Amino acid sequence: MKNAIVTGDGAEMNYAPLLGGAVDDPPEIVCLSLLQWDFVGQRAQSLMSRSARERRVFFVEEPVFGATVPGLDIRRSDCGVFVVTPHLCEGSDDAEAPATEQALLLDELFLEYEVCDYILWYYTPTALAFTWRLDPLLVVYDCMDELSALDSAKRREAELLSLADVVFTSRHGLDEAKRRFHHNIHPLPDSVDLERCDETWARMMNLIDLTLKKLYSEI
């Protein structure tokens, strides 16, 4: 049953009424990545492909610069994921211009596709620059690697860790390094085995559902 959360006594609780959504519609996912969708064989592509079997998934790629007018290229992959490529202007003296353009383009995406009840799924803290105004049901940070020692990178990740409702890491050790910054962090290592990938996805969805239950049962 979609949207079902198994409680401690084994009963099923449906969180859709709490979120104002339809019973059969799990929250959509807006995934923010620095990689391109066609960069195959990566964790993000595997997990988002699996998620697209039961919900709409928007995979926002790294931007392409050189456009005369900012815009979005949106295509649907074979697995059903909506691949979103921002095309941004280049050469502006305003350092904040790219983030502003991407924020406005995301607004257009949400309006055109009527994205309402959604999860923001981050693979890069740099995406905070153009997503901080958004109001998701839940924030996921799937941490792949230790960031560089640059103050700006660490600062962005600290902001994301404070914002995230649940954090995953792609290997053991990363969780220990960040556990003092977040209470709900879980190591879920990568695997090339398809069955193990499905197990990782299922564990993630269960942890997300439990986090949603906790958040919205307090309302």
Residue with tokens 């807006």: 30
3.40.50.2000, 2.120.10.70, 1.10.357.140, 3.40.50.300: CATH of 4-217: 3.40.50.2000
pLDDT at site 194: 61
Q: What is the pLDDT, as a whole number, of residue 83? A: 97
Residue 24 confidence (pLDDT): 59
Total-model pTM: 0.84
Give DSSP secondary structure letters for the chain. Answer: -TTEEE-TTS-EEE-HHHHT--TT-PPEEEEE-SS-TTS-S-HHHHHHHHHTTTS-EEEE---EE--SS-EEEEEE-TTS-EEEEEEE----S-TTHHHHHHHHHHHHHHHHTT--SEEEEES-GGGHHHHTT---SEEEEEE-SPPPS-HHHHHHHHHHHHH-SEEEESSTTHHHHHGGG-SSEEE----SSHHHHHHHHHHHHHHHHHHHHHHHHT-
Ranges of each domain in the chain: 4-217
- Quick one: pLDDT at residue 198? 84
Mean pLDDT of each 10-residue bin along the chain, 219 residues long: 35 39 74 88 88 96 92 96 94 79 96 97 94 96 75 82 93 73 86 72 94 83
